[in-house]
Amino acid sequence: MTRARAIAVAMGLSVIAGATPALAEQQVYVYSVMHPIYGEIGTLTDTIDRSPEATQSDWRLRVAVTLLGIVVYRQESDTIEIMRGNRLVSLQSVTEKEGRRFEVQGVAQGDQFVVNAVAGSFAGPATIAPSDPWVLKRIGEETVIYMDTGRIINVHISGGDYDTVSVNGASVSARHFVVTGDKQQEVWLDNRKIPVMFRTVENGTPIDFVLQNAAAAGATTVAALKRSALARPEGDDD
């Protein structure tokens, strides 16, 4: 049994444990991590398993900045997130960042989401959202948990209008959301609500995550993005 499935079973997700037909739909999304000075510095892979009872996301981040053949910055992170509907029920992550290790374990308990992390223990509301571009798309105030550190903060989400964003050289019409908290994040969702790009500002530097492929039947691919960008007028909702 994999670590992801073990966590899901512990959360009582019988569909994953095999009581009913197992995970019905899996999609894999690969993003290039782009730095404005150093270019591509790594990849983020998001494997999503959807079933009638839950959605499980398995994030794998690998980043390294190299100068003259020497790695001057490295970050590796593995995160498992389980949602039931719009509710986060489990969050497990391990992050190695510049020689420091961060572990986060969070679970829904009644009307709270309880977190144990390196920085301490915290509790947020049951409606808490992970800092995940797939779910940060509701306008207004939101309580968010950072998946790599377990920190809980309040953010304001604005936007949602169609904008044009460049994805691998193609102009794509996408809904643009801005998340404002202790740092700014931006998300661009295509007409199928897939994040084709998202951005986080770290110490004043914008880091972009650009979709490269989607390994699933009917999922958006870079080639499809380029075709749809040419075929669909800007602002079309379909």
Residue type, position 132, single letter: D
Using an 8 Å Cβ cutoff, are 64 and 76 in contact? no
- pLDDT at res. 202: 86
**Predicted confidence band at 143 (pLDDT cuts at 50, 70, 90)?**
very high
pTM, two decimals, is 0.78
User: Taking CA 207 as the corner, what is the angle to CA 202 and CA 213, rounded to the nearest 5 degrees?
Assistant: 145
Evaluate if residue 140 carries a pLDDT over 50. yes
The pLDDT tens digits for 220-238 are 444 333 333 333 333 444 3
- Give the domain ranges of the chain: 25-231
| Pick from 152, 128, 137, 153: nearest CA to 188 | 137
More confident residue, 13 or 76: 76
CATH number for the domain formed by residue range(s) 25-231: 2.50.20
The pLDDT tens digits for 34-54 are 999 999 999 999 999 999 999
